[in-house]
Structure 1
Amino acid sequence: MEAWLEEEREQLPLWVPVALGAGIAAWFSLPNRLGWLAFCSASLALACAALLLPSGGRLRRAVLIGSMMACFGCVLIWGKATFLGAPPLAQAVFVEVSGEVKRLNPVPAQKMSRMLVRPIDAPGLPPLIRVNLDDELTPAGLGRGAVVRFRTRLMPPASPGLPGGYDFARRAYFDGIGATGRVLKPIALLRPASAPPPMRERLFAHIVGQIPGAGGGIAAALATGDQGAIAEDDAEAMRRSGLAHLLSISGLHVTALIAAVVFLLMRAMALSRRAALDWPLMLIAAGGGALAGIGYTLLTGAEVPTVRSCVAALLVLGGLAMGRDAITLRLVAAGALVVLLAWPEALVGPSFQMSFAAVVALVALGEHPRFRGFIAAREEASWRRLGRHLLAMLATGLVVELVLAPIAIFHFHKAGMLGAIANLVAIPLTTFVIMPLEALALLFDLCGWGAPFWWLTARALDLLLLVAHGVASSPWAIMRSSAQSGGIFALILAGLLWCLLWRSRWRWVGLIPAAAGVAMILKSGPPTLLITGDGRHVAVRTASGGMAILRERAGGYVRDALAETAGYDGMLEAMAAMPASRCSPDLCAVRLKGDGRNWDILVTRSSARIESGVLARDCARADIVISDRFLPVSCRPRWLKADRRLLARTGGLAIDLEVPFVRTVRSVDDEHPWIAWSAFRPRRSSQL
């Protein structure tokens, strides 16, 4: 072991942020303070055990530092959640709010704005709420610093409706948002905005006004990171084609800006003989690039992905200024460590995971001797050089797609299959054509001469959207999967990190857990039964492999959530039309197959009163009873009663009748502070 660690001594520091992230992930995964304390105690016990190993060995130091960092990571996120988070609203309320507008984000694609408001003289409300405001209700003079009064129905930030769904409540807690709602008529402007809109909002409005149509939203997103003006069909095409990363301000945008500034400064200073001979050109250019990167980060709102990219870029510039090889895995590890120390909650978000996974994969591939030899400069014909560069781009795209696929499947239940091909065109087009043209258009707008550049930018954006829609229309564009457990995801991630961070032949041992996780995903089938957290919406897997939904009039959001969780890409049928179902206006009985037997499912579908004797008889005949109401004690199914009381404790359910097995949104003893338990407290119904 010591000999192997000596061989890998250069790679050992890379595991410091991994150990810190393991502690943070443990806090998010374990349900309550007993589990958090147990993890910290186990980490400290492991550190104590490491002291029993021979002194001076690398194994002793590695285990000691790793276990201490894991404990520190759990304590770090626990402390931040305790002292800096915003507790959610206890329960939904209708209220008249008077408050100061802290931020106003227009969303032209949905004809509304998202408004962050700090309530005034409202001790019963959270310190910050987010409400949606329709454009037709927006008064003149509304902006940051304005004081408004309006009526709204405030609710706690939404938890996932189904297992594996997006947890907005968790993000809102760390963002300081305690409630959400929609502004109702009328809205009164008590005091107009005291300051002009921030530069980001003015830049966003200017770009959207210069490029009408679909391209304007893309152009505004490339410059500001605000995707509110992108039409939903264009956004979906970008996601399906693997080009969605272009829309968020991340490493590509920050790198392109800093590289352009450094290039221009180097060329401008080289025009002076004295500067070229006597000045430290790289140091000055790196300083200018750093200032440009910091300014761009502040301009775009200093979101976590942008700050993360800026930190990494500053580390690169520092390495270049000192004449060091800056693009290394140690740089990536340093950037990850800085982000986790400042924003530990970012670890569980797809943005952090996908961006760092992609960078680690690219740097690890670039450090491989064979790949480095393949892309090294050499004397050859131009067409061979071009072909070699295209093959290198395709290889890097495939590697990134393979590494990001498990992350995309875990968070979004689908992964792009043709993203490497689409990025062959999209990344050069965006980096070398669209962004320079947009920068020139903004520059010449200062003199009123930017129209020709805006026209060229619009044509280039049309080409980008053509690529996105063309790739997205392919039936092989994405691979869908049902929602996967965190254990499978952790297994794959651990295997990939083992393969990417080590350098000796033992690195390939990581393929075993990674392959095992992939095999579990391929083997796992879609759930037989899906139940949303409120109990109103139920979807079942039909005998033909399709999906049927209880309420035919369910909205598009609910239908999409059910289909994505099941990994299904077709139309949802009506449960009442299934041959194996018998439905009345109040109840629906369905017979499903699983585990070598028939399962009888009973679902309530109305709010009408059901005679207690009839309900008790039907419950006794069913294996599973589902209801959005509080069912009486006399309702006793043979296997599971998923009524309002149970769903208030567990959230939505995904049931696989082949095992059988039940997955829940949360455990019944979950103590994470963003869960508003009082909002889920069941209320007895007088109808039963």
Structure 2
Amino acid sequence: MASQAAPSENPRPDAVRGAALQHRPWNSKRLLSRGLAEFEFFLSQAAFRQAQWSVVAFGAGIGAWFALPSPGWWIAWCTGWFVLTGTVIVLRWPRHLYYHVFTMFLMVFPALAAGCLTVWARSAMVGQPSIAKPVFGTFTGRVLEREEQPAQGRDRLTVAMRDPGNGRAIKVRVNVPEKDGLVRSSAGPEAGDVIRFKARLMPPAPPMLPGAYNFARTAWFSGISATGTLLETPEIVEQGHSGGRLAALRAGLSRHVRERLGGGEAGIAAALVTGDRGGIAEDDAQAMRDAGLAHLLSISGLHVSAVIGATYLLVLRLLALSPWLALRVRLPVFAAGAGALAGIGYTLLTGAQVPTVRSCIGALLVLAALALGREPLSLRMLAVAAFCVLLLWPESLAGPSFQMSFGAVLAIVGLGTAEPVGRFLSPRDEAMAARALRYLAMVLLTGTVIELALMPIGLYHFHRAGVYGALANVLAIPLTTFVVMPLVGTALVLDLAGAGAPVWWLAGHAIDLLIGIAHGIAARPGAVSVMPAMGTGAFLLFVGGGLWLGLWSGRVRLWGLAPAVAGTLLLAAMAPPDVLVTGDGRHVGLVDAAGERLFVLRDSRSSYVRDNLLELAGMEGEPVLIERWPGARCNSDFCTVPVRRRNRIWHLLIARGRDEVPERMLAAACDKADIVIADRWLPRSCRPAWLKADRSTLNRTGGLAIHLASGKVTTVAEGQGEHGWWRPGK
């Protein structure tokens, strides 16, 4: 009996292979046994971690819910994985032979279904349908939140009110322009006040073009049913006090910081203290993004870690001054508790946004590991933090914040666990200067690896990414962590006694140096890489390769380079679409044959429209009017544009006016065109050779990206399915 392995034991891989291969009742079972034995051997050699891969499967289930089009598909997805799990349990493959295989199936298969069910339930609980159509009028509601945005010259209010169409309770977000005298003023409506306001409310906008930002999805999970801009100063009908002391403290602290500093320094200091980014000038914010320093402007891991780390070290050193305490009490436990309280308080003060909560959870796990004497930064800690965030906010998986945060930490942990890095950092007898150079080289290597890991994410979501981010972060992170944040914190403490002015002066110069680094790096030649909208397939190859590199051990992790390189090649070969059409049909962009200039149908007063067209085309600079396209002919009603691609000329007919056109003339013009684009409804007699994109079509498809050479048309509707935030017209 002693020689028999218990079912729960994990025998040696070579024993598993031998035992399975000797069991040969008949051919199909022998083939299955051999395959399972090889797979078991692979999992054992590669140090398969069930918990980490279960979290990956949980995230994959969430991603499947976003990708699959309808409830029927979601049900089929969940049912299929549960059936497979039940099949594994019923078959009961010998657990003592296939321990890793059996546990993988029992943990990964249900996680794939659980992820889909979690985000589905979250959508059903918090999602709110948008208003049916744009509406203009005077409304009454209670202010839930007020956000000051002096850099944009406005305040932003979140208001609870009744839907003008059906009377249901909804939440809307409205902007209050500076001309109404509310910005930088404490006299405006605060959280809890009941106000009467005149505004034009719009349903949250879907993506303007395929691959563009999906505000409608964000609004759905935020419970926002409409957005708009106030047309008159709101009238306070009733004073309220339901806003909460914490929100008032946050707003007051932001105002105080902006009063103590001037210019761009004030906005960045307020962002570091309270997470309020409304005071950051757009040119400074863009420079920080292009330099790879945008993470410094949002309260995330760096800021929470700095606050918790400073509190931990300070409390530990102060308690260690007492010999009685040092001999009788586990000081790291007390210091960890103080750091945890500081981290939770800082998270609540800064608004408890998802990135901050995510960072706080990770930091608390690190503190727990330190208190228990365990390894503080590990894949297990990362998996627990990711699971907690995905369980509470599964929709964050689709956003860049979650992907960049956990991608960066996974890159750090994966690099730190690599054998060559361990040998490079191993203690040795050497001069202090040589040791310092080794650690400096490691910092540069870590920054480079993080940038390589995050660049595809930045290109996928923002269509641009900084190239010199590793160098910029080597300079900016120590400056922010060890100079700027301590100076700002010290100044706030000294302000209690009215003695913070000298420290604010130093903090202002330190922040000015940080801004200078961002502008200097962003202005370097080739500092920014701009790409057209990346296909989801190429992005998933990057993600799959990165997860493989980070989660496996040994040489098998290098297999992850294959999908990563494949994604790189697809990205390098990606060409911008030839024609871009917004969902309302009013804005059309044409890319020249060289892919260097963008021609637009009309000038837009909205920088949002222009920026979207340029980003999705993968270009910078100012667009050119379509009249200047070679061979284009335009009048007040239409433009005819010849576009040559692969030895063929495509003829485009684009509407630009609203006047009535005789139907016969329009039908004759359509007969000569390959593609017709219009922001109006066109009659059935208009029949172009290939594509008719009028108001009726665009209401169903949303914006279009057209590749003429391949004949491919990508639509916004393709990526929306029957999710609640997508409401195609008829």
> CA deviation digits over 1:116-149, x for unaligned, max 9?
0011696536521100011332562521111110
Task: Give the match's secondary structure for 2:640.
Answer: strand
Deviations 1:296-351 (A, max 9, x none): 00000000000000001111111111111121011000000011111101100000
* Separation in structure 1 between the aligned mates of residue 570 and residue 550 of structure 2, nearest angstrom: 22
Q: Secondary structure at the match of 1:325?
A: coil
1:538 aligns with 2:588: yes
Partner of 2:179: 136
Q: 2:663 aligns with which of 612, 622, 627?
A: 612
Whether 1:421 aligns to 2:471 is yes
- Does residue 503 (structure 1) correspond to residue 553 (structure 2)? The answer is yes
Give deviations 1:497-533, integer Å, cap 9, x for gaps.
1111100322222222221111111111111000011
Residue 202 of structure 1, aligned match among 230, 235, 252? 252
Q: How does 1:397-412 map to 2 (within 5 A)?
A: 397-412=447-462
Contact 1:141–1:193 under 8 Å retained in 2: no
Q: Is the 8 A contact 2:465 2:529 kept in 1?
A: yes
Match of 2:31 in 1: none
Match among 155, 162, 167 for residue 209 of structure 2: 162
Paired residue secondary structure (1:315): helix
Give 1:632's aligned amino acid: P
Aligned with 1:55 (options 86, 94, 99): 94
- Counterpart Cα distance in 1 of 2:485 and 2:234: 39
Alpha-carbon contact 2:119-2:395 (below 8 Å) kept: yes
Correspondent of 2:378 among 328, 332, 336? 328
Secondary structure of the equivalent of 2:441?
helix
Counterpart in 2 of 1:578? 629
Which residue among 547, 551, 557 is the counterpart of 2:602? 551
- The separation in 2 between residues aligned to 1:25 and 1:428, in whole angstroms, is 36
Distance 2:297 2:137 in 1: 36
Counterpart residue number, 2:439: 389
- State the 1:593 CA deviation: 1.8
> AA paired with 1:114?
R
The residue number in structure 2 matching 1:77 is: 119
Percent of pairs identical after alignment? Answer: 47
Q: CA offset at residue 379 of structure 1? A: 4.6
Give the conservation status (yes or no) of the 8 Å contact 2:410–2:550: yes
Counterpart secondary structure, 1:540: strand
What does the per-residue CA deviation read over 1:401-434, in whole Å, with 9 as the maximum and x for residues that have no partner?
0111111111011121100011110000000000
How far 1:570 moved relative to its partner?
2.8
Cross-structure match for 1:46: 84
CA-based RMSD? 1.7
Confirm or deny that 1:568 pairs with 2:619.
Answer: yes
Contact 1:106 1:112 in 2 (8 A): yes
Between the aligned partners of 1:179 and 1:454, the Cα distance in structure 2 is 40
Alpha-carbon contact 1:536-1:627 (below 8 Å) kept: yes
Asked if 1:107 is matched to 2:149, the reply is yes
**How far has the Cα of 1:12 moved from its partner?**
2.8
- Do 2:598 and 2:623's aligned partners in 1 also have CA atoms closer than 8 Å? yes
Q: Distance in 2 between matches of 1:107 and 1:277?
A: 52
Paired residues of 1:482 and 1:565 also in contact (CA < 8 A) = yes
- Whole-Å separation in 1 of the counterparts to 2:569 and 2:323: 63
* Structure 2 counterpart SS, 1:593: strand
1:275-298, Cα deviation, whole Å (9 max, x unpaired): 111111000000000010000000
Structure 2: distance between partners of 1:508 and 1:460: 42
Counterpart code for 1:124: G
Q: Within 2, Cα distance between the matches of 1:647 and 1:230? A: 36
Is 2:48–2:552's contact at 8 Å kept on the other side of the alignment? no
Counterpart-to-counterpart distance in 1, 2:425 and 2:592: 52
Matched, 1:591 2:642: yes
715, 718, 721: which is aligned to 1:664? 715
Shift of 1:187: 2.1
Match of 1:189 in 2: 236
- Classify 1:9/1:372 alpha carbon distance in 2 versus 1 (closer, same or farther; 3 Å): closer
Q: Tell me the amino acid that sits aligned with residue 469 of structure 2.
A: G
Q: How far does residue 380 in structure 1 lie from its aligned partner after superposition? A: 3.4
SS at 1:149's partner residue? strand
Q: Give the greater-gyration-radius structure (CA).
A: 2
**Counterpart residue identity of residue 103, structure 1:** E
Report the Cα offset of residue 552 of structure 1.
2.8
Q: Residue 684 of structure 1 aligns with which residue?
A: none
After superposition, the Cα gap between the structure-2 partners of 1:377 and 1:115, relative to the gap in structure 1 and judged at 3 Å, is farther
Deviation digits for residues 569-622 of structure 1 (CA, Å, limit 9, x no counterpart): 132111111112111110001111224411111100011111100111111111
Does structure 1 retain, via aligned residues, the 8 Å contact 2:198–2:234?
Answer: yes
- Give the whole-Å Cα distance in 1 for the aligned partners of 2:514 and 2:337: 33
Alpha-carbon distance in structure 1 between the residues aligned to 2:307 and 2:548: 33
Aligned length, in residue pairs: 679
The 1:157/1:143 distance shift into structure 2, 3 A limit, reads: same
> Which residue does the alignment assign to 1:172?
219
- Alpha-carbon deviations, 1:147-184, whole Å to 9, x = none? 11011111111111011111111111111111100011
What's the CA shift for 1:372?
A: 2.8
Q: TM-score, normalised by structure 2?
A: 0.91
- Quote the residue 1:213 is aligned against: 263
CA contact (8 A) 2:604 2:610 kept: no
Alignment of 1:394-473 (within 5 A): 394-473=444-523
SS in 1 for 2:717: coil
Q: Is contact 1:576-1:583 (8 Å) kept? A: yes
Q: Is the 8 A contact 1:595 1:660 kept in 2?
A: no
Counterpart code for 2:158: L
CA gap 1:457/1:671 in 2 versus in 1, 3 angstroms: same
Letter of the aligned partner of 1:191 in structure 2? E
Deviation at 1:189, TM superposition (A): 1.3
Q: Find the residue that maps to 2:158 and give its secondary structure.
A: strand
Q: Are 1:240 and 2:312 matched, yes or no?
A: no
**So what's the TM-score if we normalise by structure 1?**
0.96
| Gapped regions of structure 1 (runs ≥ 5) | 682-688
User: Which of 320, 324, 328 does residue 278 from structure 1 map onto?
Assistant: 328
Counterparts of 1:105 and 1:15, CA distance in 2? 40
Asked if 1 retains the 8 angstrom alpha-carbon contact of 2:316 and 2:335, the reply is yes
AA aligned to 2:223 is G
Partner amino acid, structure 1, of 2:238? R
Give the Cα–Cα distance (whole angstroms) in 1 for the partners of residues 278 and 178 of structure 2.
13
Find 1:644's aligned residue among 691, 695, 702: 695
2:599 alignment partner, SS class: strand
Check the 8 A contact 1:106/1:228 in 2, yes or no.
yes
Distance 1:141 1:658, change over 3 A: closer
SS at 1:128 equivalent: strand
- 1:381 is displaced (CA, Å) by 3.1
Q: Secondary structure at the match of 2:590?
A: strand
Q: Counterpart amino acid of 2:601?
A: L
Pick which of 15-24 and 76-85 moved more: 76-85
Decide whether the 8 Å contact of 1:100 with 1:119 is kept in 2: yes
Unaligned runs of 5+ in 2: 1-38
String of CA shifts for 1:645-664, please: whole Å, max 9, x gaps: 11111111111112121111
Question: Which residue type is aligned with residue 126 of structure 2?
Answer: L
- Does residue 517 in structure 1 map to residue 567 in structure 2? yes
SS of aligned partner of 2:644: strand
1:89 to 131, 152, 177: 131
Residues 258-273 of structure 1 correspond to what in structure 2 (within 5 A)?
Answer: 258-273=308-323
Output the CA distance in 2 between the equivalents of 1:491 and 1:41: 26
Q: Which moved more, 1:58-67 or 1:514-523?
A: 58-67
Question: Is structure 2 residue 360 aligned with structure 1 residue 310?
Answer: yes
